[in-house]
Structure 1
Amino acid sequence: MTASTPRPSPLLEAARAAIRLRYGEQPCAGRAAQSVDAGNAAAWNPVLDTLLAHRSVRAFRPDPLPPHLLPWLVAAAQSAPSSSNLQTWSVVVVEDAGRRQRLAALVGTQRHVEEAPLLLVWLVDLSRLQRVAEAAGRTIEGPQYLDTFLMGAIDAALAAQNALVAAESLGLGSVYIGAMRNRPEEVAAELGLPPQVHAVFGHCIGWPDEARPAYVKPRLAPEAVLSRERYQPAPPEAIAEYDQALQAYFAAQGIAHPAWSTQVLDRLRDPAALKGRHRLVEALHGQGFELR
């Protein structure tokens, strides 16, 4: 850099660094970082910094969370959008060590479920709507349809993501647990879920263990997920570049990991690869969801 070349502002450097970290060792990382100029770097702020720095934390210190933090997480979750303001979700807070241990056994070998001081289980909750109808002496048919269940799952995901961002803004780490759907009837029994309530996923939250750090995992290039006006499939080269970037990410941590495209094929190979989730419709019917 010559004396006549102005040094990029700290804000610009921070924005470019976050972009490069999010996309890892892919050509798109450099392109995206260079596209951030002084003009749009001025929009960089702590919210964007928190969002782009997200990483899944699976190693937690045993320290309990201060009691004042949970109300903030719930308030943040309830600040998420809700379709027609029906608020078709609920969350169960699990802090009891014995219950966390039993749930950890139901989701496979994921020690962080037992280790994290706080486990949130996010739920589709249509039972609350049914109780409102019963109290009014009315009958409602909407909860019997697939769209209403989907609405609940979307609402729960939006609420959970708000809680995750809030947690990370407070210095906490977290990771979602999709395996809460592997054995849904047993999870429902453990949590005392009534009919028309279903656990969509779990959410471990706690103080990250600095001795076992988590890293920002690269994502697909923007051109693999972004279309303008009409849908365009991901360019094959974007998939190939991401395969290499993800393997480089794991190799830097001394972990042997398959290419992303191989991981996709293995994860969705057959019903057995779904680890119990292939019978989710059957489980939902058993929990009182008709899904017409």
Structure 2
Amino acid sequence: MNEVIETILNHRSIRKFEDRPLTHDQIEKIVTSAQAASTSSYIQAYTIIGVTDKEKKERLAELAGNQTYVAENGIFLVFCGDLHRHEIAGRMEEKDVIPSLESTEKFMVALIDAALAAQNAAIAAESMGLGLCFIGGIRNHLAEVQTLLKTPERVIPLFGVAIGYPAKSTDKKPRLPMSNIYHENEYQQNEEQFIAEIEDYNRVISSYYEERTKGKRKDRWTEQMANMLEKKSRMYMKEFVQANKFDLK
């Protein structure tokens, strides 16, 4: 196994970091690695905001649901879907690009570009011995996040990534069986087999939690997912996205 694959397979979320900032060189390597990710039609529809200011990180931690590791890390990167610069490009070239920018397709391009860039950044950071945790909690209060980060129209903060030197590592969390994720040539629809595989996975996850928490927790994966999805969350998102000129037409 080569070192790249080993780094990828060794991924786990880190939620406790040393009080130690990243160097400019480390940040540059992480960001340029993010920029090396594939991008649809060369559009590069994302922006990365590196938050190092202590007060801003503390406010982001509060907005994300009081997650302390959003504030206590080497740097907090916020990945944004960004079509603002493309509106400017249209004005510079005297072309009407607005209908395209306000399409569902370009919204999806911005999301995909940002996710691809973030995964490259994550691999780069972990290859340097750093740890990280993706943070979707910033979407709890996006209007406040936008105000804090001073983002213009057509820019939406999507998620954050807390990066730093791990102060405490965690066990690697088991993933779904490959047969549930990878289908060859067409989507396999043998539900009996699917459920059997999920039941096996439930047992693996339940044992994982029970061992990790010394018996305090042993929920199954399907139980965890159903309980989470039963509760409505961030239901304001469609209106928020449209108000920010991503009209989903």
Aligned to 2:226: 265
The match for 2:83 is: 126
TM-score, reference length from structure 2: 0.95
Q: 5+ residue gaps in structure 2?
A: none
Higher Cα radius of gyration = 1
Match of 1:143 in 2: 101
Q: C-alpha separation between the residues in 2 aligned to 1:174 and 1:93?
A: 14
Instruction: Give aligned pairs, total.
Output: 243
> 2:132 aligns to what SS in structure 1?
strand
Match of 1:113 in 2: 70
Contact preservation (8 Å) 2:209, 2:219: no
Residue 180 of structure 2 corresponds to 224
- CA drift of 1:119 comes to 0.3
Distance in 1, matches of 2:203 and 2:124, equals 32
Aligned to 2:45: 88
| Deviation digits for residues 247-279 of structure 1 (CA, Å, limit 9, x no counterpart) | 2112222251421101111111142xx2xx211
Query: Structure 1 vs Structure 2: percent identity of aligned residues?
Result: 33
Confirm whether residue 203 of structure 1 aligns to residue 161 of structure 2: yes
Which residue is equivalent to 1:74? 31
**Equivalent residue, structure 2, for 1:252:** 211
Q: Does 1:243 align with 2:199?
A: no
2: CA distance, partners of 1:133 / 1:291 = 19
Q: CA deviation at 1:117?
A: 2.2
Structure 2 Cα separation of the partners of residues 84 and 288 of structure 1: 21
Equivalent residue letter for 2:170:
A
| Superimposed CA distance per residue, residues 155-181 of structure 1 (whole angstroms, 9 cap, x where no aligned partner) | 000000000000000000001001111
Amino acid at match of 2:51: V
Q: State the match for 1:160 in structure 2.
A: 118
Distance 1:173 1:257 in 2: 26
Query: One-letter code of the match for 1:258?
Result: D
Amino acid at match of 1:189: T
- Runs of 4+ aligned residues of structure 1 deviating over 2 Å after TM superposition are none
Asked if 1:183 corresponds to 2:160, the answer is no
How far, CA to CA, are the matches of 1:223 and 1:136 in structure 2? Answer: 49
Cα offset for 1:94? 0.2
- Cα separation, 2, equivalents of 1:80 and 1:63: 27
What is the identity, as a one-letter code, of the residue corresponding to 1:245?
A: V
